[in-house]
Amino acid sequence: MNQQPEEEFEDEEVAALYEHYHIKVDKGQSPIRIDKFLTEKVAFATRNKVQQAIDNSFVLVNGQSTKANYKIKPLDEIRVMFPQEPRDTEVIPENIPLDIVYEDTDLLVVNKPAGMVVHPAHGNWSGTLVNGLVYHFQQLPEMKGNVGRPGLVHRIDKDTSGLLVIAKKEEAMTHLAVQFYHHTIERKYIALVWGEMEEKSGTITGHVGRSAKDRKIMDVFPDGSQGKHAVTHWEVINNLRYVSLISCQLETGRTHQIRAHMKYFGHPLFSDAMYGGDKIRKGTQFSKYKSFVENCFQIMPRQALHAKSLGFKHPRTGENMYFEAPLPEDFSAVLAKWEHYVQYE
């Protein structure tokens, strides 16, 4: 049996909330019920935990949902998702204002500001989106075995602004999690990057994995020798001489994928200190230009990345839902300055 925890799951904004396993059954495996097989083969996978995963369509055999009495066959491809157990389960309610874009009885869509961590974790036990959610919505559901993260089915980075969908009922949480699991959620990001693009659109393909020099950042491994398969589709919205405004559609969702891919492509995100975008990468040597860029960095001291749109099927009605969030104030201000600079300087 080839068992690969968290190696094949495509979206790490979701993956961080769950345990993921990709198992290829051995050629000589005898027929056995899949619930018994997983209980024996996956560490800490109790019969109840496996049954819950099967009931929630989080166990796939050859890409299809299965039942507990299914008998596995040689060379079956099994993918499993279990709720991840957080290290600390206490969430203190905090009166944090929330920018709610949409709300009904089943879910809400929140526009998260840059600088806000999504859920409590080491080093960030307060001031998170979840702390605010439990204050304003006392009865939010939690995935079984995933206490401490009520309502969450995905996340975005602290310094990335934009849209998140939050479940208000257990049925909605399960349904939305399945949509993320099957990659049917539509998400688009807006980014300001250094340099003008030679083409109007393109695709960046290259494995993304932890850097050997700095474990906090991700590197691109185009030969596939390390990391995980990653694909980013981009399209130019506006070329601004020394920077470009682009949209990014993720085919996969690796950690820091857009940031790592754009750096590898030679166009790091503007003001992205972690990936070298907080230095002047394109432009003149004139002091006036340098002062202009430094002023932009001061206005937006974080990566210029915004989760602009979010589309999914409503978990109860089946209706196609689509939401957009305008660029936050810091992003809009910097963009306006660049547009003015290109036109008048």
Known catalytic membership, residue 157: yes
Show the DSSP H helices in the chain as ranges.
12-15, 34-41, 47-55, 129-136, 170-181, 257-264, 287-299, 329-344
Residues in Cβ contact with 69 at an 8 Å cutoff, skipping those fewer than 6 apart: 33, 35
Measured between alpha carbons, how far is 98 from 181 in angstroms, rounded to an integer?
A: 27
Measured between alpha carbons, how far is 69 from 240 in angstroms, rounded to an integer?
A: 59
CA 286 to chain CA mean position, Å:
39
Output the six-digit token pair for 209: 């994995």
Exposure class string for 43-64: b at 16+ Cβ within 10 A, else e: eebeeebbebbbebbbbbbeee
Which residue among the candidates 11, 157, 272, 278 is catalytic per the annotation?
Answer: 157
Measured between alpha carbons, how far is 162 from 310 in angstroms, rounded to an integer?
A: 9
CB 252 within 8 A of CB 220: no
Q: Which amino acid is at 9?
A: F
Output the six-digit token pair for 198: 């030679």
Residues annotated catalytic, as ranges? 157
